[in-house]
A and B are shown apart, each in its own frame.
Chain A
């Protein structure tokens, strides 16, 4: 009897938590399907009187949000692929290869994590200006490539690769770079997926930097375009909600599909020594 009560309590709490967590999403979806004006009705409505996809049509046609979906996909994809390459190489080297000053450098990198990213933004902007990269996609991509978190994550996993495997390859005469390409990368694949997922989500959701760097509205990423839209159409609640759904949907789907890798990343980066 006590056990049943405990189970009821636990699952009741979880259900309540889930409802509270999901509520904003559910309302967002519901409001995005309401006829114009209904989301501001008094008393508030939970469900549309009739479902309309009008706002999504407006977004994709008149406001051409599709373009920004493509831009965001492209940019997040590029950052993911290039960043993965840079961080995996470094992470593996820090984990597995002896080189002078390795530990010292790694500690400096870790210490750099406490510097708020915004500190570097102002001079970075001036630097990119000097390089002619303001208002270009490269200006968005380049500063986001190397990530201390990514290097750390890979390093933790690289250290678990048994030396014996690497040494066997060395005895066979394989060069270090070949070993990295053929053996290490294969063994690190699961954590690569994790890092790719983190990078993609981070890049997709990033707002401030693209907002500052991109002035041409054709280059806007989806969050920047959405913020612009909010500024111009603030009275059109339903349209805003549709825009939010479009912005949030890709990362949510990606997360639901790959969440096991996401969890793996946190477990690895978070708790293991």
Chain B
């Protein structure tokens, strides 16, 4: 047995040391593996090993790999992790290569999407597919409940949900599914309400400010009114089965579910569901959603030319279209949208509209920790363990604690150079929504 272990070990150490290692997360991992085969055919000298990780473990895995010095040459991740990895010096800036690229054009990416990969004017990643969230809904259930129009404002949306609740499709049905332990929906609502989540150059939490409070209040109210079930993600049933049997009519989620729903819903429901942009807080405004993207990044110490060639290949508009065919994910490249006719197609059209109205979360290394804290406090407020005000006060205290080191570093930097604090351009507050 000892011999077996050594044999396997030896195998790892020798042989394929020249492989480029690529990490891809979730169901896109399989698609990435397919596209990579094409890359290898075009570059016979290079061999790429694709490793797939579940999203739930990806953040820990990347950080551990960085600390343990075993990062992949290139990997795919969400933009909210970028500031952290940049701070660590784990990834490589790509501006020069992007500008010199023959196949990629900066202007071809949706501006709000590419912007999530830019910090202080430096570009770090190549957007691959968008991860903005919006409204998925069962059209047949809405029609049956007498909801005539897709809601454009929060008020109209809540009226529609109230109507739905009066005509439930199943005994245990609800108007909307909002997994309790998620930060995305309350944050989308807050950003949509023009709130600033952090204040003073991202030094302190700002969750007690009126716009954030109003958004959370509106969100919690959906649970209080019984429009959303108090269901946790870990034990809710099979999401797709539940959507099919009408356990809920609305769901706020991202493009990856276009493919999953197409694959998993029974055929007779194929035309019964649709998507719509996020409703706006007030009439006359566009509804905002998260500027989110899954992008390709290169490891700082990667074999830079090869790693760049690989992600340049994967992020090219042709491959983005191919990804859409393989998984149903939506490209970050505008030409890929036009080429595939996605901008006018049912269901993806709503995403096209939404991509014009995005806001980013604060670009600071602590964001992932803050987001986890938001999710946790949102859950305890939903469960009624804390009141709205107590929950937001706790959240602020928690976030202030998380940001303590950041404040010290900023103060120290200021003491050395009295220039304006460059490193904490408050991205959330300056990123204006792009007019449609």
Contacts and interface: CB of A to CB of B under 8 A. Distances in A.
Do A and B bind?
yes
Interface of A: 40, 70-71, 73-78, 80-82, 125-126, 128-129, 132, 134-138, 141, 212-213, 215-219, 227-228, 230-232, 235
19 contacts: A40-B238, A40-B241, A70-B4, A71-B5, A73-B1, A74-B1, A74-B4, A78-B1, A132-B69, A134-B68, A134-B69, A136-B12, A137-B12, A138-B9, A215-B61, A215-B70, A216-B51, A218-B12, A219-B12
A35 to B, nearest CB: 16
B67 A125 contact: yes
B7 interface: yes
Interface of B: 1-2, 4-9, 12, 21, 26-27, 29, 51-57, 61, 64-65, 67-71, 237-238, 240-241
A244 B346 CA distance: 42
Contact of A78 (B2, B53, B64): B2
B51 A217 contact: yes
B150 to A, nearest CB: 29
B57 A78 contact: no
B65 to A, nearest CB: 4
Contacts of A128: 68
A22 B106 CA distance: 60
A82 B2 contact: yes
A235 B238 contact: yes
Contacts of A81: 1-2
Nearest to A40: B238
Nearest to B57: A231
Interface of A, secondary structure class, is: helix
Contact of B1 (A80, A136, A212): A80
A136 B4 CA distance: 14
Contacts of A82: 2
A243 to B, nearest CB: 14
A159 B61 CA distance: 46
The 6 closest A-B pairs by CB, nearest first: A77-B1, A231-B54, A74-B5, A134-B68, A74-B4, A135-B70
Contacts of A70: 4, 8
Nearest to B16: A218
A73 B8 CA distance: 11
A126 B66 CA distance: 11
A218 B50 CA distance: 11
Given A125-B64, A128-B68, A231-B53, 10 more contacts: A40-B238, A71-B5, A74-B5, A78-B1, A134-B70, A136-B12, A137-B9, A215-B70, A227-B57, A232-B54
B9 A136 contact: yes
A140 to B, nearest CB: 9
A273 to B, nearest CB: 35
A73 B6 CA distance: 11
A231 B54 CA distance: 5
A129 B67 contact: yes
Nearest to B234: A234
B2 A129 contact: no
Contacts of B53: 217, 228, 231
Contact of A135 (B4, B55, B68, B238): B68
A192 B48 CA distance: 45
Contacts of A132: 69
A36 B52 CA distance: 23
B309 to A, nearest CB: 22
A241 to B, nearest CB: 16
B25 to A, nearest CB: 9
A77 B5 contact: yes
Nearest to B71: A215
A228 B54 contact: yes
Contact of B56 (A77, A126, A134, A231): A231
A129 B65 CA distance: 10
B313 to A, nearest CB: 22
Nearest to B53: A228
Contacts of A125: 64, 67-68
B212 to A, nearest CB: 32
Contacts of B51: 216-217
A73 B1 CA distance: 7
A82 B71 CA distance: 30
